[in-house]
Structures are given as structure tokens and as C-alpha cells.
Structure 1
């Protein structure tokens, strides 16, 4: 009996050993989420391709979650969301012995975060002011603000500024959404609007700049005002009378504004420095290194770089026979990408000044490439990302303003290339604005 029992136990043990040898113990390592190019942000409504990476000796189950909600069970996942914000993508990989998970934060940004805006004055409300948007893929939205809100900007909109994910748009006459509109810079959804009555102390406002939510600077015929949207307080800054009808530059937590034969440096509610110039400034632009470009319509004309820290003039270049007039326009006479400074001298010719080499040359006559480009309406602007030069032209006044163009040129190859010619989209363009200039 003992002999048979021993044989049975031995056989049973061998049977278990045999089963153990045949059974595979699941192994799971190297769990990771792979995104194409390592990208972790995507435009609203766009698609971010994600792949589950892992090493396993079995075929595990895969699950994708977004903010805790299961979205897919495939190895590859196309992430997309309609609303901007921060999302948490979780990859869960499981076997019969357990699961492992890894998280990836993904930012969904608004349609208008990156690209180019063209602000239209309109024709005293008929048509109304509007905002054109051109995406990095050169797709145009002609009524971007109206599409986002179903309402129109103030009558004769003049300028805009982007700071802290807010867009500030100033108009001369106010109107449906206010004289000053504050919108989300990524979605253009209106957040606040301030009426002409609320800003009654302003006298034909033309330009706006902002440091933060409580420091908004508005230029009008009397000078530069400090406006606090959080309290609606508005005060004229002493010493800013004579501020020119042109854009202000913001850098180093200060505002730089052109005035009669001078450059004003404003901090909080005071002019902390007045820099004398040998002529009228025609453009004040933030440089890529944080300093300030200034063009001066003197004899000869000059372009200079001013330190944003100690306000010294770092270098001045004389332009010889070339001029840098802003004309009647309300946009800077110059636009810069690095040391390459483009200007048009209130004409239909594009010029380039190489500041490092102190060399100036003509690049192109707009009329050779664009039909009915009789005159420019406000000054050219260069995209700081790709060197595309934008020029807004019209055939003329009267009904001829309806025949117009946004011409996009590029000269980086050494030849003139007309990249795009957007026809008949503007309504007296108040300026071209690149989101990258506000980063």
C-alpha cells in the first residue's frame, strides 16, 4: 500500500512539474507613450497620433484613457479634443497578473494661438471692423472674431496687443462690443468689453499695449493713459503728450513709445526716461534680443538699437539716400527678424536693411507681382518665424478700396518669391500682427 501511495505522489509531482514547465509567466516592461516627433500639444480639433510602446512575452490588453475616461483599446490612439485645455492621457497595459500605467500631459491650444492677424478698420461701421486670421498653413479665416462671438468689434478698430493669453483690441469709436475689447488670445472669445462711456476721457484712441491684467496702456491724442481693467481706473501719464500715432513696444516690463524727437520709457504710471532723438521716430519695435529698434526720419534717416536696460543707444546706422517714413500710417515704418530690418518708406517698394553689415538694398516693387497694388495701406510686416513679408495694398479710395490684396513675399533664397496673394479680403487694414511677436 505504501508503495502505491509513493508512486502516486511521485506521479502527481511530476505532473505538476510538467504543467509548470509548459506555462509562460507574463512579463511586461518598458511601458511608454510615443508621440510623433515628441509633440505634446495639438490644436483644438486636431489629431495627435500616439502609440503604446512596451515589451512583453504575451499579448497584453491595451487601454487608453483621457482624464479618466476610456477612449480606445487599440495599440495606436488618435487623440483629439474640441476644447482647449490641459488633458491627461493614460496608457494602461495589463496581463493576467496585473497592469501597468503611464501618463502623458497633453495641451490642446486654441485655433488662433499661432499665426497672423490682419485687423480691418472697416468703413465707419459699413462694413464693420473685423479680424482676419491666417494660419501657419496659409488658411484664411476672414471674420475670425465674428465667428468666435457672433458680434462685431468696435467701429474703426486701430490696434491690437497680446499679453498673458489675452488679446486687447482698441477702436476709435466704440460700438457693439466696446471701445476696448479683451478676448481670449487662443479662441478670440470675448472676456470683457469697455464702452465709449466707460472710457470717456479718451480722445480718439489709436494704440494699445499691455504688461499684465491691470496695466493696459492706451495712446490717444492727449498722450498715453494707464488703464486698469480690474478697477476701470483710467489716468493720463504725465509727460506723454506728443506721443506719436503709432505702436508702442513692450519689453523688460516697460513700455517704449515714440514722441516728438524722443523715445519715452514708461514704467507703471510714470515716464522714467526720455531719450532724445535727432528727428521724429517712425517706428518703435521690440528686437529679438529684448532691446528696442527705433527708426528716425532724419537727414540722413537712421535705424538704431536702444538698450531696454540702461536706455543707451547701442548702435546707430545711417541709411544714406534711403528714407524710413511711416507716411500717414499708424504702424511702424520698420519690421524686423533678427538683424534683418524691412521697410517700405510709405511706398509700393520693399527694402531691406542688414543692421549688422549696415547695408541697405531694394528687394522688390510690389506692382510687378500684384495687380492693382496702387498704394500700400499701412506698413509692411515680417513674420519673425519664417521671414515672410506681408504687404497690404489697395487700388485706391472710394469703391476701389474693395480691390485689395494681402501679398506675402519671401526673399530668403536670394530671389523674390510671391508666397501668397490673398485677394479682396481687407477693409482698410489697420496692420498685420504675428502672434510670435508677443511671445
Structure 2
């Protein structure tokens, strides 16, 4: 009996010890932090209020850091970026019992990165060129955005025309024709970073970037290399003469539209002439299939990007040489489908109203226009661009076959040809082209 009692007392003692030990193991834990959207994107000029979730506990304190630097000690934080870039914002919650943290990774776009840039020629003899901005989802254009961030600067004088723009390696290169400058800005903020006054003795017309330090300028007498670091322009490239319009780079070749020779192909490293595949009337754009497309009279032509082997399909109209009053090519290509878009020119110097779509490999797709503009509107400038962000065709028009003071930017579904939105802005601006962010 005594033995039995001793055993029971021993078991009771062990149970008590175990219970005490278990109680000691359960200690109060620190706060737990949760972020619903750790990856976010905003633009310069916007604010972002960050409200992380966390468990409450006595004596809790908070700490915010922005790229490692302390910026706050409240439960929420309002981020107001002044420059574009990538930001790491850390939120930490602490109590005497422990702490937890989480990280926001915020991408800040430049003020003009989330939309389409509209380059206007200007009113020759009266007003210089300008850049306007369409923000995705808006119903209007923001006017004079280059001038807004570059007070006191200009895009040439009233006798020059802003004719061409291209984004390369984070920079926007704008070419002001007829004696104007080459102006370089940050592509997303439009803050000017450099310029060349009276570029190529006033003959500059177009631009293409090659790599981080080299580019080419198309001029009315040939092609010139430019150092993108110093903006020093070199001597004219041998073997190329006459006016040069659009240029596209593919691999180690540059395909340039020449008034004298049609398509000229340059080695992008040595600048040696590698070929002259066909006498192009207009050009060029790069198709989704990698081929380089242009037109020769009533043929829509293409060449393989390395072998230069040609292909063609008949169009129901003839293309017209753009030189003289040169403007960027009235063509575009989809990045979603093997579709090439080309504007039908009107008679004489009038502006056209019809756009055709070639579905590569299907000649019948050119039998009828893909888009006919609304009554009273006419393509102007390059006229059409493809926006790979929205799968839309961005079209610029004016209200007269020769001239017009009503400018419009139209947005069409690139798959169906349905008109989605029209934005009108009045004045003698003459839209030269639109520029799509990479």
C-alpha cells in the first residue's frame, strides 16, 4: 500500500514539473507583420500611402527605412518620390518580446513614362515645335510638357520643325529639321540632358541608337555617326549619299531609307555598306518575324535581316516618296501578331484617309482598308504607331487634306480596327509623330 502511494505521489510530482516546464516554454511572442502588395509601381508626382498589417502588442514601436535610411516611426508612411527609380522601403514593428519586418519594392516611373508622347512640328514661321503627353486612361493631352520641365529652353526656332523622336537606352532623341538642334532628354521625365545646336549643319532628319555609346544621324546628304556620351558628331559615312529618312537596327545591321538608293544596309560596327536590297519608296519597320518591311511603288516588300533575301506582296495602291517635305514613315508593325500596317497616300500633296493591314502570308488581307478615318479627318505626320503596351494603333490626324487647325489622336484596337478613343486639341500644331515608351 505504501509503495502504491509513493508511486502516485511521484507521478503527481512529475506531472507538476512537466506542467511548469510547459508553462515556461509558452512565452509572449513579438508582433507579426503582413504586406498585402509588396511590389508596386507609381510615377513621379504621385503619392503612395503604405499601411502594413500587424498584430497589436503592448509597448509596440515602428520604424520605416527608405533604401536603408530612417524616414518614419508611425504605423503608416506616405511615400512621395522626387525621382524615378527603384526603391526599397522596410517597415519594422517591435515590442520587448520581439520584432518582425517586411519590405515594399516600389518602382517609380518618370512623370511621362506611363503614356504616349506626341511630338508636334509647330507652326512654321510662327511657333516652334512642342511635346504633348497622353497618360494611359486619360481623356485629354497634357500640353507643352517638354517646356514645363525645361524652362527657358526650346525645340528650335519658328523656322525649324520638330520632325522625329526615338527612345534609346533611356534617352529621348528629338531631331528638329531645317536647321534645328538635336535635343536629348531623359525619356521618362523629359528633363534635357544635352543638345547639339544646328546638328549636322542643319541637315539632320532622323536618328537610330546602336549601343550605349554610339548612334547614327540621318541627314539630307547622308549618315553621320554620333558619340552618345559626348554628343560629338563624326564625319559622314562613306558610300552613302542623298537624303536619309528612317533607320532601323537589326542585329549587326542598320537598314536606312535613302532617297538615292532605296534600302541601304550598313554594318553596325564598321559602317561599311553591306548591301542595297531594293529601291524602296518608303521604309522601314521591323516585323514580329524579324523581317524588315518597306514599300516599292505598289509592292509591300520585306527582306530577311541577315541574308537580305526579298519577298513582296501586291498592294491595291502605290506608295509615294516622302522626301522633299520629309516625315517619318507612315507604317507600323505589331509585336503581338505578324501584322504590318501602312497608310494609303492621297493624290498629289493631299493627306490620306485609309490604312491597310497586311497579315503576313495572306495577300487577301490587303484587299480592303483595315481602317478608314472618320469623315473630315486626314492622316498627318507619320500618321500611325503601334503601342505594344495596349495592343492599340495610335493615329494622328488633322482636319484638312492640305492643312488644318484641329489635331486629333485616335486609339484603335489593333486586332479589330475598332475606334476606342479620340482626343482633340486645337491649334496650328501639326502632329509629326507619336513616341511609345519601351
TM-score, structure 2 length as denominator?
A: 0.80
CA apart distance, 1:187: 0.8
How far off its partner does 1:248 sit?
1.1
In the superposition, relative to structure 1, how do residues 146 and 167 fare at CA in structure 2: closer, same or farther (>3 Å)?
same
| Cα contact 2:248–2:256 (8 A) shared by 1 | yes
Question: 1:26 and 1:384 mapped to 2: Cα distance?
Answer: 53
Question: In the alignment, is residue 430 of structure 1 matched against residue 432 of structure 2?
Answer: yes
Partner of 1:394: 398
The unaligned stretches of length 5 or more in structure 2 are: 1-15, 346-351
Change (3 A) 1:425 1:89: farther
Deviation by residue 1:166-225 (Cα, 9 ceiling, x = unmatched): 1111112456xxx111111111111112122xx4x4352111122245312111111110
Report the Cα distance in structure 2 between the residues aligned to 1:267 and 1:109, rounded to whole angstroms: 31
1:250 paired with 2:249, answer: yes
Report the Cα distance in structure 2 between the residues aligned to 1:49 and 1:251, rounded to whole angstroms. 44
1:405 deviates by 2.1
Question: How far apart, CA to CA, are the structure 2 residues paired with 1:345 and 1:82?
Answer: 45
The answer on whether the counterparts of 1:115 and 1:135 sit within 8 Å (CA) in structure 2 is yes
Q: Give the equivalent residue in structure 1 for 2:302.
A: 304
Shift of the 77–230 alpha-carbon distance from structure 1 to 2, 3 Å rule, reads closer
User: Partner of 1:263 in structure 2?
Assistant: 264
Shift of the alpha carbon at 1:145? 0.4
SS in 1 for 2:332: strand
Give the 3 Å change call, closer, same or farther, for CA 53–271 of structure 1 in structure 2: farther
Gaps of 5+ in 1: 1-13
In 2: Cα distance, 1:296 partner to 1:52 partner: 57
CA distance in 2, matches of 1:114, 1:336: 21
Is the alpha carbon distance of 1:378 and 1:57 closer, same or farther for their aligned partners in structure 2, counting shifts above 3 Å?
closer
Report how far residue 354 of structure 1 moved: 0.9
After superposition, the Cα gap between the structure-2 partners of 1:403 and 1:55, relative to the gap in structure 1 and judged at 3 Å, is closer
Contact 2:33 / 2:55 at 8 angstroms: preserved in 1?
A: yes
Matched, 1:365 2:372: yes
> Alpha carbons of 1:61 and 1:28: their partners in 2 closer, same or farther (altered >3 Å)?
same
Tell me the equivalent position of 1:410: 413
> In the comparison of the two structures, how many residue pairs are matched?
400
- 2:178 and 2:316 map into 1 onto residues whose CA distance is 40
Structure 2 CA distance for partners of 1:411 and 1:335, relative to 1, 3 Å: closer
- The CA deviation string for residues 287-337 of structure 1, in whole angstroms up to 9 with x for no partner, is 345x24312223x41232522xx2333x72413424444656522232011
User: Taking structure 1 as reference, are residues 323 and 389 closer, same or farther at Cα in structure 2, changes over 3 Å only?
Assistant: farther
Correspondence 1:82-161 to 2 at 5 A: 82-124=82-124, 126-138=126-138, 139-150=140-151, 151-154=153-156, 155-161=160-166
> Which residue number corresponds to residue 383 of structure 2?
379
- Structure 1 residue 41, shift from structure 2 partner: 2.9
Deviation at 1:357? 3.1
Equivalent residue in structure 1 for 2:169, among 164, 169, 176 = 164
Deviation at 1:23, TM superposition (A): 11
Which residue matches 1:6? none
Partner residue of 1:191? 193
RMSD over aligned CA atoms reads: 3.3
Residues 306 and 202 of structure 1: is their aligned pair in 2 closer, same or farther, counting only changes over 3 Å? Answer: farther
Are the aligned partners of 2:43 and 2:110 in contact in 1 as well (CA < 8 Å)?
yes
Asked whether the equivalents of residues 253 and 267 of structure 2 are also in contact (C-alpha less than 8 Å), the reply is: yes
